Amino acid sequence: MIKQIGTIPIDDAQALDLEKFKEMDYFAVKEFNLPIELMMENAGLQLAKLIALSYPNLTNKILIGVGNGNNGGGGLVAARRLAAWGFNVSLDLFTEVTKELPKKQLERALKFGVNNKPVDHPDIWVDAYLGFSQKLPLPDSLLQKIQTANTSNCKRISLDIPTGYLGDATQPHFNANKILTLAALKNILLGLVGNTEIYLADLGIPKVVYERFGIKQPNFEISTLLHLQ
């Protein structure tokens, strides 16, 4: 039983289509001087909290898959935070990390004791490979990782949109037990409700931005994580 996480009925969580959410995200960054690095830190912290609250056994082997984008940066923040709390964390880098922010987060995570080599037979496999800007088809190397994850005896968590999923659940995608979506529920995730637990995390976007985009801000004051039921 997960504690310290607020709940919200799924019908009360207003959703945005993916393009509208991208617009909202970029607007918040530009108009409110919210650095991408700060939002990355918020996303990674909330992901680390969900993992730690859901699976608190420090002997669990946690594998976090990351790429070269901001979603990967959030996964690297989570890796660092979990390592700081005493968890056993390894990384699955499906591509070289070269962009400034993810590279900085990788350097920080390694300093905190995160293992930069993937562990065999993880207990928890975290999908932070690609973000909401992912395009299909996925490269074969990433498809193979997803297939391995989906057939492994492990718990699976996706950060925001599961890798490979853009609304069609029949296409190969990371089959998450839990999804932590960021700032607002996305319409395409509604197709996974019932098979997957969906959580909503506060990124620090102000109420006026939600209002501008025609949705109600979730009641994050209850908790920084909301379980959609």
| CA distance to 4, 76, 137, per residue, from 132 (Å) | 27, 17, 14
- Above 70 in pLDDT, residue 187? yes
DSSP label at 126? E
In a domain, 24, yes or no: yes
In a domain, 1, yes or no: no
Least confident of 1-10, 14-23, 36-45, 93-102: 1-10
Provide the edge-to-edge strand list for the sheet that holds 6-8: 6-8, 225-228, 197-201, 178-182, 155-159, 124-128, 61-66, 88-93
DSSP string for residues in 131-183: -TT--SSPPHHHHHHHHHHHTSSSEEEEESSPTT-SS-TTS-----SEEEEES
Domain range spanning residue 107? 6-228
In a domain, 186, yes or no: yes
- Above 50 in pLDDT, residue 174? yes
DSSP string for residues in 48-109: HHHHHHH---TT-EEEEEE-SSHHHHHHHHHHHHHHHTT-EEEEEESS---SHHHHHHHHHH
- Above 50 in pLDDT, residue 3? no
pLDDT of 225 reads 80
pLDDT of 5 reads 57
For the stretch 10-22, pLDDT in tens is: 665 789 999 999 9
pLDDT of 132 reads 84
Overall domain count for the chain: 1
In a domain, 118, yes or no: yes
Q: What CATH number should be reported for the domain holding residue 135?
A: 3.40.50.10260
For the stretch 113-139, pLDDT in tens is: 999 999 999 999 999 999 888 999 999
Looking at the chain, the whole-number percentage of residues with pLDDT higher than 90 is 83
In a domain, 147, yes or no: yes
In a domain, 70, yes or no: yes
Average pLDDT, the chain: 92
In a domain, 188, yes or no: yes
For the stretch 133-166, pLDDT in tens is: 899 999 999 999 999 999 999 999 999 999 999 9
pLDDT of 72 reads 97
- Above 70 in pLDDT, residue 214? yes
pLDDT of 139 reads 93
pLDDT of 4 reads 46
